[in-house]
Every structure is written in C-alpha cells, then in structure tokens.
Amino acid sequence: MSDYDDLMAFTRDTMALQQVSGRLGWDQETMMPRGAAPQRAEEMAAMESVLHARRTAPQVGDWLGKIDAESLDDVGRANLREIRRTYERTMKVPATLAARIARVTSEAQGIWAEARAADDVAAFLPTLSEVIMLKREEGQALAAGGDVYDAMLQDYEPGATGAELQAMFNEMRPVLSDLRAAVRDAEAPPRLEGSFDEGAQMKLTRQLAKAFGYDMSHGRVDKAVHPFSSGSGLDVRITTRTNPADPFNCFYSTIHEVGHAAYEQNIDRAHLLTPLGRGVSMGVHESQSRIYENQIGRSRAFTGWLFAQMRQAFGEFGIADADAFYGAVNRVNDGYIRTEADELQYNLHVMLRFDLERALMQGDLLVSELEGAWNDRFEADFGYAVDKPSHGVLQDVHWSVGLFGYFPTYSLGNVYAGCLNTAMQAALPDLDAALAQGDTSPATAWLRESVQKYGGLMQPKETIESASAQKISAAPLLGYLKGKFGGLYGLPSGG
C-alpha cells in the first residue's frame, strides 16, 4: 500500500470512531436516562481522548510529510487538505484540554436543560463561565496570537472571519429592520389557532420527511427538546418536537432537519468515512436546511399541497383556503424563540447572538453581564421585553456545549440559500407545478447534483459559487424577502 492508502485507512477508522461519538450525543438528547449524565460525560471525555490521540498520531504527521499532493487526483488532494487542516488544528490543542472540554460540555448540557426548565439563570452561569474559560483557552491555542473568535469560526465555516460576517450583517440588519417595521404596520394574514393532536402531527411529519427525500432505511425521526440532525453516510437521524397549539413548529422543524440529513445522505458514497463524506461547513449545511424549509417548504405552491394534507389529518381547522393558509404559514409574529421565528425576523435573532458571543470571546462582555446585555439588545431589535430567561439567554443549547462560532453560520446559510434559490428557479421554470402536487423531487434532485453529492470536495464558498454561478452576496436573499413579504402584506413596490 502507498503512504496515501495507509493514511486513508487510518483516517477511516478515526472517522468511524467519530460517528460512534456522535451517536452517544444523539442518545443523550433522545433516549438516555437523566441519571446517566455523569457517566456519559466520562464516556464522551474518553472518546475525545481517543479521537484526539488518533488525529495527532505521529504517523499522521509522517504520512503528511511524505505524500506528494501533485501525485494525487482531485479527491486525493481534497482528502489530504482536510486531513492536514484537522491535524494542524488538533496539534495546537493539548489532549488534556480537549478531554476536559468534552467532559464539561457534556455535563453542562444537562445543567443548562434544568436551568432552562426552571428559568433559573443563576443556576447555569457558573457552568457557562467554566465552558467559556475552556473555549477561550482552546481559541487562544488555535489562534496562536491571532483573533480568537476567527480561530473558533474555522471549526464551522473554514475561511470565514468575524470582520467579514460583521460587514455582511451590517448590510442586512437595516434592510430587515425596515421591512419588519413596514410589515408590523400592515394588515396581517390569518393566524393558525386550535389544538392539533400530537400523534397526528408525528404521522404527517414522517410523511413530509419522505416527501422531501429523506431515506428512512438509513434514518429515523425521534422527538427532542431541541430539533437536530445527527450522523452521516448510512446512518443519519433527525429529531423534531410537537406542540398541540403549533403544528407548524413540528412540520417545519422536520423539513429543516431533513435538509441537513438529505445533504449527508446524498454525498457520493465513494466518500463514506472520509473527510469528504460530510457537509463541507455549517453554513453550506444550513443553506440546505433553510432552502428546504423556506424557499421550497413555505412556497405558495407547496403550502397549497400541505393545506390539503392538514385537512385530511385534522379536518377543518379554521383556515378558509390555500391562499389564507399560505399567509398563515408565513405570518410575521412577535416571539422570543429563534427556532420558531419567521423568515423575516430569523436573522435578527442570529445577529444578536453573534454580537454577544463575539464580545464574550474577546473579553468585552462578562458572563455576569450576559443576561442584561441579551435583554437590552432584544428589546432594541424587536421592540418588546424578554419575559423570562427560557425565552431569552437560556433558550439555545449551543453555548452550554461550547459551540462558539456556530451561530453566524445560520445567517450565512440563509445568504447561501438565497444565492442557490435564484439559480434553482432559473434552472427549474416548472418547479411550482411539481410542488403543488407535493413533489419536491425536481428541487431536491437539483440540490443533490449541484451541492450535496460533493460533500467536502470543494471549499465552502467554492461549493456555493459553483452551484449558483454567482459571487456570494446577501442581495438575492434580501430581494427574495422583500418580494415575498411585500406581496403578502401588500407593501408598496413589494416592500
């Protein structure tokens, strides 16, 4: 075997162990007994120690030094690029620190969940302070004298910088705020009201998952507090949640997570258990979940079909016709929760978190000041006060598990989705006719062939620019939002 073959064989075993570690996380969120949390933290720390040792094994460095990238094909060079990036980053972080982060964040997840349920910020802040201290230490090791937040971003969006994201968000925020103000002054579409059986919700949500191409022979749908997708390749699982008063939360959480899962399921099987056999970045990942959920799932054509399915599942539910249902699905509502926010307001939630976590990592904001800073910023952006911590600083799991640098990829994914949507609509002029029949296959096939099958073969920006045949810009997303909500709310010139 060649040095490259030896490296890839070693890497496949590492990737397989990483999948096992991910399954432990899935179990912790869905089925693990609450009392098992301390033991699970030790298990996660042990797995991280094993993975860290493999990623920094001396033979990996030897192979990387021996292999001539020019002797490899495009796939080989891309694998080598990703293995080298992981090796160099992991070498900068001491194994003891990596294991401690894994242990503390596993424990923190349960502490956060209990604090959130009790609306008790004080119960969580000491743990959050420890997580931030450890993550800042990790970021400093990775940055090697550079910007700590930029170093942390690389785990989620390679090539991105905080300054670039800040500039993009500064462009987006005033447009979104002005459009939101105009919508709030206009007559709103009808609101969905009533009680919707949770068992019937889960039955329809599985139908929706299949309608969007989710392969249930390689996946499953479970319930969790915070919907998520887990795994890659042949085992990709999703979760959703139900609320008797809000079936849209269940349906669109499912469609969103199917977007993530379909990306993983549709990557070329030749890349299975290699660095290319997973989504290239969280921004690109989010572009798939958001375009599935919004541009496809909340379109006028698809909601017409969903209206008929809901009538079959629940009978008459107070919405007169498909047009009124389209308005109800896309209604701009006051609310506190990011994951439940409409398309128009969603990015404002993300920008709030981006600014706060960047300040935390840079030492410009103390943990003791976080709740007050959150509440002040929320009231300034949304015009009303946070009523309780579970609707504010305690609502998201991300900080408890150390995912600093993750939040901005949600908005970056929306920007990417805007670019992809313009290209998809141009390529599929008859798409609405298919969506009106509940057939998403033209759209999902286009995304599979344009984005998903490549996995990590290309870099994130290259992946999106190649698929959309345009430079990445917030303009397509902002134009789409102006047109959609301008039309829904009868605003002059589409908003």
Is there a binding annotation on residue 171? no
Residues in the chain, how many? 495
Pairwise CA distance, residues 356 & 121, whole Å: 16
Question: Which residues are within 8 A (CB) of 152 and not within 5 positions of it... i.e. 6 or more apart?
Answer: 135, 138, 139, 142, 361, 404, 405
Question: Which residues are paired to 240 by β-bridges?
Answer: 223
Q: How far is CA 343 from the centre of its chain?
A: 15
Catalytic residues: 257
In Å, what is the CA distance from 63 to each residue of 6, 70, 124? 8, 15, 44
Pairwise CA distance, residues 356 & 376, whole Å: 11
Left, alpha or beta for 248 (phi > 0: left; psi -120 to 50: alpha)? alpha
What 3 state SS string does the chain have? Answer: CCHHHHHHHHHHHHHHHHHHHHHHHHHHHHCCCHHHHHHHHHHHHHHHHHHHHHHCCHHHHHHHHHCCHHHCCHHHHHHHHHHHHHHHHHHCCCHHHHHHHHHHHHHHHHHHHHHHHHCCHHHHHHHHHHHHHHHHHHHHHHHCCCCHHHHHHCCCCCCCCHHHHHHHHHHHHHHHHHHHHHHHCCCCCCCCCCCCCHHHHHHHHHHHHHHCCCCHHHCCEEECCCCCEEEECCEEEEEECCCCCCHHHHHHHHHHHHHHHHHHHHCCHHHCCCCCCCCCCHHHHHHHHHHHHHHHCCCHHHHHHHHHHHHHHHCCCCCCCHHHHHHHHCCCCCCCCHHHCCHHHHHHHHHHHHHHHHHHHCCCCCHHHHHHHHHHHHHHHHCCCCCCHHHCCCCCCCCCCCCCCCCHHHHHHHHHHHHHHHHHHHHCCCHHHHHCCCCCHHHHHHHHHHCHHHCCCCCHHHHHHHHHCCCCCCHHHHHHHHHHHHHHCCCHHHC
**Amino acid letter, residue 474:** A
The answer to whether the beta carbons of residues 275 and 75 sit under 8 Å apart is no
Is there a binding annotation on residue 256? yes
Binding-site members are 256, 260, 286
Binding-site members for Zn(2+) are 256, 260, 286
